[in-house]
Amino acid sequence: MSLYGVGLNTNLQRINIEFRLYLSKYNGKLNIRNLIRLFQQLDVHNVHRLNLELIQKGLNQFGFFLPKVDYQCLLKYYDRNNEGLINYYELVDGIRERINERRLSLIEQLFDYVDSEKSGAICPKKLGEKLDVSKNKDFQLEKKTRDQIVYEFLSCFNLNENGLITKQEFISFYEDLSQGITSDQYFLTLLEQNWGLFEKDEQEISKEEVKSLVKALRFKLIQMTQGTNDEFLLRKLFKEFDNNKSGYLTLEDLQAMLIKLEIPIQKRYLQALLQKFDVNKSGFIEFEEFVVYLVNDPYP
């Protein structure tokens, strides 16, 4: 019964879970769409179906390996016409896990942000112009230019007959990206870094709440420097919170700073607080911004 009836469904569920776990190891860097493209390259007749040997070849090229009995399980389940062929779109769709409401809500919010004319489809060029690549490691290390990163990003989308990206395609892309990211917070942070959008509850943080946090943090920091403007002491304090010795403070560094200073704060307030420091909108706190923040009271 291992490949039939209830046993077949159980084995298939196990295979799907193993595949998702494989994707999750790469934390979003490996997209299930790449697997579809591998299958398409092997599908020389463009019939959307492949024999078991080619299905195995595609999965192996993707870096995913199964024992022979599991490939037989896939064939048994997806070869409904007993032709020895598997529709690879059905296979990939079966692997996909439905996206949760929290992620979907921000994806839809993001599309509406880009689709300012509310046409239901967006121009790739317009989408590329809004993409923020400043947090991309390849860009930071000067391995890739902004144009290269934007080109690679846009090439992941399937365009309609008018050369536009529909809302459904946009959601579908991020659903596929989501497959390899187990943490909601990491997924949302990724979108926030790329597009500068935040969940609605973060947008609704009041100015008074931010003001209160800013004053508390500034008071603690001034205590540590004893009110001095001496550059040596300020740099020493800055380096103390620069955990990665990168020369700037990240959101994680800011969080660690607050913990060390015993200032309780919910995670959803961190980004709002960072923005008070981050005058040049780089996404992190530079030394000059840190000094200005201490010397000049933003709420006199």
Q: How far apart are CA 50 and CA 33, in angstroms?
A: 17
Q: Say yes or no to pLDDT of 169 above 90.
A: yes
Structure tokens at 238: 């800055």
Separation of CA 183 from chain center: 10
pLDDT recorded at residue 198: 63
Q: Give CB contacts under 8 A, 24+ apart, made by 224-233.
A: 225/294, 229/295, 231/291
pLDDT recorded at residue 2: 43
Q: Is 136 found in the same domain as 58?
A: no
Q: Is 137 found in the same domain as 77?
A: no
Q: Is 300 inside any structural domain?
A: no
Mean pLDDT confidence for 248-259: 84
Instruction: Show which of 175, 199, 223 is a domain's final residue.
Output: 199
Q: Say yes or no to pLDDT of 89 above 90.
A: yes
DSSP bridge partners of 172: none
pLDDT recorded at residue 35: 94
Q: Say yes or no to pLDDT of 3 above 50.
A: no
Structure tokens at 228: 């001095």
139 neighbors 151 (Cβ within 8 angstroms): no
Q: Is 183 found in the same domain as 150?
A: yes
DSSP bridge partners of 285: 249
Structure tokens at 290: 């840190």
Q: How far apart are CA 224 and CA 205, in angstroms?
A: 28
pLDDT recorded at residue 66: 95
Instruction: Show which of 199, 232, 261 is a domain's final residue.
Output: 199
- 128-140 pLDDT per residue, tens: 999 999 888 888 8
Q: What is the mean pLDDT of the chain?
A: 85
pLDDT bracket for residue 275 (50, 70, 90)? confident
- Reported pTM: 0.61
| Boundaries of domain holding 248 | 207-295
Question: What dihedral do alpha carbons 82, 86, 89, 92 form, nearest 10°?
Answer: 120
Instruction: Show which of 199, 217, 249 is a domain's final residue.
Output: 199
- What sign does the CA torsion over 7, 8, 10, 15 have? positive
pLDDT recorded at residue 219: 79
Q: Is 45 found in the same domain as 114?
A: no
Residue 227, classified by CB atoms within 10 Å of its CB into exposed (0-12), middle (13-18) or buried (19+), is exposed
- 188-228 pLDDT per residue, tens: 878 888 887 766 554 556 677 777 777 877 778 777 777 66
Q: Say yes or no to pLDDT of 120 above 90.
A: yes
Structure tokens at 32: 């299930």
pLDDT recorded at residue 1: 38
Mean pLDDT confidence for 247-274: 79
- 13-56 pLDDT per residue, tens: 899 989 988 888 886 778 899 999 999 999 999 999 999 999 99
| Residue of 204 and 81 predicted with greater confidence | 81
Q: What is the CATH number of the domain that holds 273?
A: 1.10.238.10
Total domain count for the chain? Answer: 3
Q: Is 211 found in the same domain as 185?
A: no
Q: Is 127 found in the same domain as 63?
A: no
pLDDT recorded at residue 274: 83
